[in-house]
Amino acid sequence: MKASEAIQHLLREKSVLKQDVYHLTIQAFKDLKKELEASVHEIQTQFGKTDSRVEFYYKNKGDLQAEIKVAGDILVFQMHTNVFQLDQGHPLWKSGYFINEEKNSYVGVINIYNFLSDSFKYNREQDIGYLIGRIFINREKHFMVQGKRQLGFLFNDMINATLDQAAMKSVIESAILYTLDFDMYLPPYEAIHQITVDDIQSLNHGIANTTGKRFGFQFGIESNQFTEG
């Protein structure tokens, strides 16, 4: 096959496929945002007037991002603009679903991040967020989730699972459950027993301390390395 013919073949096959997956993912993300708003409204309604200090909201942050606040946590749902192929080491490559039709291995991606709500409230730009899940959607709108705990094992049947409204609601609820059960740990006293004058003067502006659930907080002069439990 000549180079020009190979180029045309790849354009017709792979580039068109990626466009199909991308536009399907865009529509899926639009539907997901509607379900996010509905889920937050349902949770807020059921919670009622139990405690006015516990806050909830949904925010549409544009075509590629949305966020929800549930109590002290914020979940950010972000759609990636690129289409990826699942790597050859993935178990699905041992199934006929990929072997017989390689096109099924190309996916759009929606990332789910967990942040502390105070990180946004006090503009703590150095605070740490956690990727708790990634939704993979292929050309047939089949999906799976790579993620923590229930997110990782409840949604791993891409061969049969379709990302419909019920599935979206289930993924959202699982993400919320994981987040509410994912607590912030206080760091050892020895890890934060020193502080500079600049750090203490900056505390009122919310910029000196780095905060994340798995190490409580660190002052800006310390390492940002962390290990998730």
The reported pLDDT for the residue numbered 216 is: 40
Structure confidence at residue 122 (pLDDT): 83
Mean pLDDT of 77-89: 94
List the domain boundaries for the chain: 3-180, 184-229
Q: Does position 210 have pLDDT exceeding 80, yes or no? A: no
The b/e string for 117-149 (b: 16+ C-beta within 10 A; e otherwise) is bebeebebeebbebebbbbbbbbbbbbbbbbbe
Alpha-carbon span 183 to 130, nearest angstrom: 12
Which pLDDT score is estimated for 219?
35
Q: Which residue has the higher pLDDT, 207 or 119?
A: 119
Using pLDDT thresholds of 50, 70 and 90, give the confidence band for residue 97. very high
pLDDT of residue 127: 82
Q: Is the pLDDT of residue 222 over 60?
A: no
- 9 by Cβ neighbours in 10 Å (0-12 / 13-18 / 19+) ranks as exposed
Mean pLDDT of the chain: 85
Give the pLDDT of residue 202. Answer: 66
- Using CA atoms, how far apart are residues 68 and 137, in angstroms rounded to an integer? 22
pLDDT band at 228 (very low <50, low <70, confident <90, very high): very low
Q: Is the pLDDT of residue 22 over 90?
A: yes
Is pLDDT at 196 greater than 80 in this prediction?
A: no
56-70, 102-116, 130-144, 197-211, range with the lowest pLDDT: 197-211
**Selected residue with higher pLDDT from 135 and 229:** 135
pLDDT > 90? residue 188: no
Which of 26-35, 89-98, 139-148, 200-209 is least confident? 200-209
What is the C-alpha radius of gyration for the chain, rounded to an integer number of angstroms? Answer: 21
Q: What is the pTM of this model?
A: 0.83
Report which DSSP code applies to 111. Answer: E
Q: Is the pLDDT of residue 124 over 60?
A: yes
